[in-house]
Structure 1
């Protein structure tokens, strides 16, 4: 089995001992570590109105990360297109590509990335309702692709064609990926000849089925004659299995709260998570999640990651480092997340 390339997915978590400014500073530090270790790409998610997540604006965060690093690709994992006007997204990422040529990825998703009320507030500025925004998703994907191209997108008007370009004099364009946690985006990516990512870190089920739909239905495009995909995984790596499980506790608690409809809070420290055990009714759900995550020692996680990639036939895995922080950790750093990246990269470089 070959060793897959490594990339990073970051939600910019906000701990109970952090401000948003601290969380962004910790992301900047984490991105520098990933860059130095040779990780391939660094993607920022889009979530809104969540106490534990500062990743509300992927293009802004991508600019922060790109400016702080030298070679790693940066992008969105992903922009939730129904929340935004297609031209705005095209302009943002065309400008990122102009500033950091050859380093920008635009990952696009269809989910709201938030609760229904916040989604309404986001989409009221687009001039369309929730249903219209989702129903027109394929057309909006096509519009973003066309408007980022040097030729632009032509609107047919009675007075003649009106060309929309995301930026003047473009010499390169971002790589565009479709993201999803169901078979919808798999089918759409296949029909458009686009790269595709199934959110295996979030869904946990249906990965093989979604990838099979994508590969079986793939229609080659000029830019991508073959299907192209990668996997995502939640990962915690520590010197011992016990310590890794301990570091996973804050994020496990947060995900259980999300799945069971409990109030959401800033991410707990490890000690806060230990001091407030889960309700017995939620312990099975927590163990099920933990079983799907890659949590353990460097050799154990590296072996499982290689097997995971081989099982699904991919040569790249994007890890979301979900290690928590202990009390007293500097507010502008996430040392356990950084150490997860270091230990994993080192284990995968070692002879196996």
Structure 2
């Protein structure tokens, strides 16, 4: 296997202190254009709701904007949280995106709601959507609805009703199932679909889950072989010290999230350094940060490139999807993310 993996990006559209959502979105669209020029494989947008530090709430909107700014890179969702949406709506959105950017659209589907129960109830306020228990059926519904032949419904009257996501589909987005447990891995294997393990969120059980997916895979017409890659949080800078400084805001945010603490926009590097200095070195936040730091890819270009090659070889993948989580400094522009830009540039140059 080629141990130099292809690179992709997962973007949560981070929002730092003092930054508006519009400025954060501008920075992300500049980043996807850069990834396109650098030769990255794909660029996905996440779905999270009601989070002060995340502006990625509507993947289809971001994908459409990204497709208009790029020419070759695949763009998609990482992922659409299916319990929040009716399958036909998802199918129509992504069939339309495929028509706009043929051969470049990925539909990554997740089973988690991506928010708290209050937001989930608001997302479903207009009627029943895809409840978690019906996740497998709704995945297969989406696959059928996006195809050229559509789906056939039998009405209570006995009549047959044809449904297509677009009237004359010429192509179909590639559907990926996403997860950090064995549930989506088993379903992806059963349906013959590509699968992505969310290593950036939880690395627990990764080897066992990937083995379960590969060993249980049932070939499909579209995907005769199992396809998978990994995600990983990454911060790359000209020096290792700078990379660790720029990782601190996101490390602190994740530590607070896992401790159930109140969250705000991402701190700047300087804000994170000051806050860390005022906390106990052996406290819960510090311990959580150190545990995560050991799993993230943080360093200069050569260091992280070597780690990426090792990660790909150990887990038998030919692609790694980076979550560029480098924080910004106080004096950096609000409509740009120089730390994330340097992460992509330095890694592309080192591999």
Whether TM exceeds 0.5 here: the answer is: yes
Question: 1:133 Cα shift?
Answer: 0.2
Name structure 2 gaps, 5 residues minimum.
none
Which structure 2 residues correspond to residues 225-264 of structure 1 after superposition, within 5 A? 225-264=224-263
TM-score (norm 1): 0.96
- In structure 1, the partner of 2:139 is 141
Are the aligned partners of 1:84 and 1:126 in contact in 2 as well (CA < 8 Å)?
Answer: no
Partner Cα distance (2:284, 2:207) in 1: 30
Residue 285 of structure 2 corresponds to residue 286 of structure 1: no
Which structure 2 residues correspond to residues 58-77 of structure 1 after superposition, within 5 A? 58-77=59-78
Partner Cα distance (1:154, 1:320) in 2: 39
Question: 1:297 Cα shift?
Answer: 1.1
Partner Cα distance (1:248, 1:126) in 2: 41
Are the aligned partners of 1:85 and 1:126 in contact in 2 as well (CA < 8 Å)?
Answer: no
Secondary structure at 1:255's aligned position in 2?
A: helix
Partner Cα distance (1:126, 1:267) in 2: 34
Partner Cα distance (1:124, 1:317) in 2: 37
Q: Which runs of at least 4 in structure 1 moved beyond 4 Å after TM superposition?
A: none
- In structure 2, the partner of 1:50 is 51
Residue 339 of structure 2 corresponds to residue 341 of structure 1: no
TM-score (norm 2): 0.97
- In structure 2, the partner of 1:170 is 169
Per-residue CA shift, 1:109-141, capped at 9, x if unaligned? 00010111111211233415xxx7000000000
Residue 122 of structure 2 corresponds to residue 121 of structure 1: yes
Which structure 2 residues correspond to residues 85-234 of structure 1 after superposition, within 5 A? 85-127=86-128, 133-157=131-155, 158-234=157-233
Partner Cα distance (2:284, 2:49) in 1: 28
- In structure 1, the partner of 2:33 is 32
Question: 1:281 Cα shift?
Answer: 2.5
Name structure 1 gaps, 5 residues minimum.
none
Which structure 2 residues correspond to residues 325-340 of structure 1 after superposition, within 5 A? 325-340=328-343
Residue 301 of structure 2 corresponds to residue 303 of structure 1: no
Residue 14 of structure 2 corresponds to residue 16 of structure 1: no
Are the aligned partners of 1:97 and 1:103 in contact in 2 as well (CA < 8 Å)?
Answer: yes
- In structure 1, the partner of 2:319 is 316
Question: Does 207-216 or 155-164 show the bigger shift?
Answer: 155-164
Partner Cα distance (2:13, 2:109) in 1: 18
- How many equivalent residue pairs? 345
Are the aligned partners of 1:83 and 1:126 in contact in 2 as well (CA < 8 Å)?
Answer: no
Secondary structure at 1:144's aligned position in 2?
A: helix
Secondary structure at 2:9's aligned position in 1?
A: strand
Partner Cα distance (1:257, 1:123) in 2: 28
Secondary structure at 1:125's aligned position in 2?
A: coil
Secondary structure at 1:276's aligned position in 2?
A: helix
